[in-house]
Chain A
């Protein structure tokens, strides 16, 4: 049996038991057999915090914790094994998983983080610094809640205008999904909708170019750019906690500081199967 580079031949129980080398892996589901807690939540009523396993997000433990109040994700624990936890230090910028006592779940009952479109943001620039935009792979499950107009909203950013090393994968703007890359803020567009999608973006010398994918389908290919990103970037925003904020949902983000084109279909199949796409 042929084994893809980076893929362990044994049958994995979790996605990252079979795929090595992630730079950061954040999810409300368990991605690795070697971790237990997937996130830490904080509630509005008394600022108490509690760690949660993936199972505890749906078995009533989280609902009990957030009963009658809001519960927010303060820290997404890195499930890659690299200890690159992603955390938000401002209480009211943490995305919600319980709103007024109601757990936030998708149509199939899987939990998701609600970003309020105002100031919710989980920065990744400290957890995952110096991303080479010419050697990177990102996978994010999420959605925009509305058809976005003239104020851009960011689902995931891993680079910024700083040094012209953008990695917007994607944003939404004027009715389109929009990918920014390197020196170009609007490198590629596709018609936007408000459905849940898997957005993959890969750049690297193995693939030989930069490509954005929606639900496993490539939308274009363009010339590689290179160099380390900087500035403030992350999940649901860009530059600060109040700029280009996402009004939408996010369930999972996996980042590799490498070209994962050889493993792309394996990764995408696992994610799309789990999230019923």
Chain B
């Protein structure tokens, strides 16, 4: 697995939406019910970091982003509670 880590969830959301635009997903072609984002956003518990789960479509990443990919979430990542 490959993850791209961001300081905030909003930054992660903005990046996956930009990828959606780059891929001309339906939402960005005028279909309000179309797909809007490419990669799932992983939310850290609380109002903390965000990450993208890059399971495919890596060609939409920049070379700099590809170099920043990590195979695991950071060790201090706060996973959501429950159940």
Contact = CB atoms under 8 A, between A and B. Distances in A.
Interface of A: 42, 44, 47, 49, 74-75, 85, 87-94, 116, 118-119, 152, 160-161, 166, 168, 171, 173, 180, 185-186, 238-244
Given A239-B82, A242-B43, 15 more contacts: A89-B36, A89-B37, A90-B38, A90-B39, A91-B35, A91-B38, A92-B39, A92-B55, A119-B53, A160-B82, A185-B83, A186-B83, A238-B83, A241-B40, A243-B43
A272 to B, nearest CB: 29
B82 A47 contact: no
A118 B55 contact: yes
Interface string B22-58: 0111110000011111111111000000000101110
Nearest to A72: B35
Contact of A240 (B1, B26, B35, B43): B43
Contact of A242 (B26, B36, B37, B53): B53
Contacts of A152: 83
B34 A90 contact: no
B74 interface: no
B43 A91 contact: no
A42 B56 CA distance: 15
Interface residues of B, number: 28
Nearest to A90: B37
Given A47-B26, A92-B55, A168-B83, A87 B33 contact: yes
Interface of B: 1, 16, 20, 23-27, 33-43, 53, 55-57, 79-83
A116 B82 CA distance: 21
A17 B83 CA distance: 36
Contacts of A160: 82
Nearest to A245: B40
28 contacts: A42-B26, A47-B24, A47-B25, A85-B33, A87-B33, A88-B35, A89-B27, A90-B41, A91-B20, A91-B35, A91-B57, A92-B38, A92-B53, A92-B57, A119-B40, A119-B53, A119-B55, A152-B83, A161-B82, A168-B83, A171-B83, A180-B83, A185-B83, A186-B83, A238-B83, A240-B80, A242-B41, A242-B43
Those 10 A-B pairs whose CB atoms lie nearest each other, nearest first: A119-B40, A185-B83, A90-B37, A241-B40, A242-B42, A89-B36, A93-B40, A161-B82, A91-B35, A240-B43
